[in-house]
Structure 1
Amino acid sequence: MAAPAAKQEGFHDCRDAWARTIEELAANDPRIVAVVNDSVGSSKLGGFQKTFPDRLINVGIAEQNMVGVSAGLANGGRIPFVSAASCFLTGRALEQIKADIAYANFNVKLVGQSSGVAYGELGPTHHSIEDFAWLRPLNNITVIVPADSWETAEAVKWAAAHEGPVYIRLSRMPVPDLAVADRTFQPGKAEVVRQGKDVTLIACGTMVHLAAQAALALEKEGISARVLNMATITPLDEAAISIAADETGAIVTIEEANIHGGLGGAVAEHTSSATPVPVERMGFPGFVPTGSVEWLFDHFGLTAAGIAKTARKAIGRKRT
């Protein structure tokens, strides 16, 4: 197994890009404020607090109150960025997100930190693998899962300019920058990381670079794998999915989340009614055990080798 991501050269923590970008935006827009739940350090907002001490609101460990306060700030003309561990932000405050933010359609930006199984050793209470399933039905919340530092910065910029609720899902695990030329960030549009004709790998967040590695390995076997970075879960790029289904005939979805109700569920829902093809969903089947990130990824096959293996399975299911 490869060395832990934190020790690999060329890997970057997307939280650094988030912190840098919100400070830059706040310097030019006095409406931007940060709201946290005693999470200044884990949100990497120490610099923001130092530069804008009167624009960071720390409500303490009270997530429902945190979201309610952000709704009030938005109603008063501010642009609140609510930053907290995604497991607590979307779990404890789900009712407030639904009623105070989504139903009211308030201009609040939710930033879920340390998502997926980034808190691996702290166990299921700190795993955030259900957030897609919880938030997808709230269809006016744009759900963005950046794959690298560049996309994180672009997502934060877009969210600040967008009028409406947004959820940005960030990991604490470093990832490499994607090797994609002439990139543009457009919510609701999948990014083609690699073209292919035999199978399509649709991934988001920390899984995108692993899908790209799997495609390289498959190429050595004579298998051409398309890789799509589906950074936006809501709204979903259904057109790109249909094209991929038509042109490659098989799909594998890869996410650091529960396969029930997440990216895999969304892709399967669309293809089943629009373009039926074999869809293999990779992620977590439910509660997962306590363990390091590396062990959990390996155990559930969320590695380049595991993705390649599942791609072969999907190809084997294609209609002849």
Structure 2
Amino acid sequence: MSTTTGPEVFGQTRGMGELIDVADKETVLAPFGTELAALGRERPEIVALTADMGRYSDILPFRDEHPDRFFNVGMAEQNLVATAAGLAKVGKIAYCTTYSVFVTRRAYDFVAIACAHSMANVKIFAGMPGLMNGYGATHQATEDLNMMRGIADLTIIDPCDAVELRQVTRAVADIPGTVYVRLLRGKVPVELPDDYEFIPGVAAPLRSGDGSVGIVSTGYMTGRALDAARAASEQGIEASVLHVPTIKPFDTAGVLEFAGRHDRLVVAENHKRTGGLATLVTEAMFDAGLLRPMVRVGLDDGFFECGSQEYLEATYGVDLPRIVRAVVDGV
């Protein structure tokens, strides 16, 4: 169900990390912030923080409903994470938001030591992950999964859509320790069915094909994977889709079972092709002695220019036509 509200409330500015190609899809406005505000009514121990990014992280619904439990630390990401860790030590569940690129590059040590090392109840919702920002390399967290995978005792989640993001917002409150979530904001599309259930650490088969090709995807690229599978079906190729919402802990068994049932694989992610989902799939298959041809749809190693998301995705080969080509032609 598509909903609207004024920009003074949720800060919905086109081009600031909203997904594209959703004109013909059902959308939900600010599913993270509205769900967190509702959860806050049930869980008085929840607090919310931001590093001056409330407008662009959809957390303002929580601020408006629970102003005494909301903290803006200013443009200081290290302080954001350290403050969240301190609140967790006195019994709070601290949800904090900023851009993905800032929390990973500027506050990495604080996430590792102040949070994960102490199993602190800090839930980081990191906005504009991957190539979702048009401001260039300074704002594009195209290597965040690779970086965060290296932190022990850290859960990493990459939700697909509004349905899953709402569930993740609730689920992380009960996941022990620190959680890193790649946040979808703005008008977030609905890609998953109403009966979908997010289970931490478990990959979800979403579409069954004929065994010729299987798509393994994560984050909003799963929506693209489903679209690509439907497009391939019109060309006589029935592709399966496996959604991997939890990057860490990784569902090795689920991925291997899926891979073993297909002649070849396509892995699609909003991340560099090294260090993220494709690397995890490759590692799992290598360790198991399972060999399958694989096309990795992701970003090259490099820095990326400024531009609209449509332009960036087409230029750097992570748009829908690229996934369709990988599925249909195997290249």
Both structures adopt the same fold (TM-score exceeding 0.5): yes
Whichever residue aligns with residue 23 of structure 2, its letter is Q
Q: CA deviation at 1:300?
A: 2.4
Q: Which residue of 2 aligns with 1:276?
A: 291
Q: 2:319 aligns with which of 298, 303, 313?
A: 303
Distance 1:250 1:181, change over 3 A: farther
Q: Which residue of 2 aligns with 1:140?
A: 153
Q: 2:172 aligns with which of 138, 159, 166?
A: 159
Residue-pair matches, total: 310
- Which sections of structure 2, spanning at least 5 residues, go unmatched? 1-18
Secondary structure of 1:201's counterpart equals strand
Secondary structure of 2:295's counterpart equals strand
Distance 1:7 1:228, change over 3 A: closer
Q: 2:280 aligns with which of 266, 278, 283?
A: 266
Write the distance in 2 (CA, Å) between the matches of 1:13 and 1:30.
25
**Equivalent pair of 1:199/1:251 in contact (CA under 8 Å):** yes
Q: CA deviation at 1:193?
A: 1.5
Q: 2:307 aligns with which of 278, 284, 291?
A: 291
**Equivalent pair of 1:22/1:156 in contact (CA under 8 Å):** yes
Write the distance in 2 (CA, Å) between the matches of 1:20 and 1:73.
22
Q: Which residue of 2 aligns with 1:112?
A: 126
Q: CA deviation at 1:186?
A: 0.3
Q: CA RMSD in A?
A: 1.8
Q: 2:61 aligns with which of 26, 29, 47?
A: 47
Whichever residue aligns with residue 79 of structure 1, its letter is I
Distance 1:34 1:205, change over 3 A: same
Write the distance in 2 (CA, Å) between the matches of 1:208 and 1:152.
13
**Equivalent pair of 2:58/2:186 in contact (CA under 8 Å):** no
Q: Report which of the two has the higher share of helix.
A: 1
Write the distance in 2 (CA, Å) between the matches of 1:6 and 1:31.
38
Secondary structure of 1:169's counterpart equals strand
Task: Give the 5 Å matches for 1:176-195.
Answer: 176-180=189-193, 182-195=195-208
Q: Which residue of 1 aligns with 2:23?
A: 8
TM-score normalized by the length of structure 1: 0.91
Write the distance in 2 (CA, Å) between the matches of 1:13 and 1:102.
31
Q: Deviations over 1:255-296 (max 9, x none)?
A: 111111011111111112212212221111122222211011
Distance 1:25 1:173, change over 3 A: closer
Secondary structure of 2:267's counterpart equals strand
Q: CA deviation at 1:130?
A: 1.0
Q: Deviations over 1:72-101 (max 9, x none)?
A: 111110000011111101111001111111
Distance 1:211 1:6, change over 3 A: closer
Distance 1:267 1:161, change over 3 A: same
Q: CA deviation at 1:11?
A: 4.5
Instruction: Give the share of equivalent positions with the same residue, in percent.
Output: 32
Secondary structure of 1:180's counterpart equals coil
Whichever residue aligns with residue 300 of structure 1, its letter is Y
Write the distance in 1 (CA, Å) between the matches of 2:247 and 2:123.
16
Q: Which residue of 2 aligns with 1:25?
A: 39
Q: Which residue of 1 aligns with 2:8?
A: none
- 2:71 aligned with 1:57: yes
Q: Deviations over 1:98-152 (max 9, x none)?
A: 11111111111011012222221x1110011111001112242111111110100
- Which sections of structure 1, spanning at least 5 residues, go unmatched? none
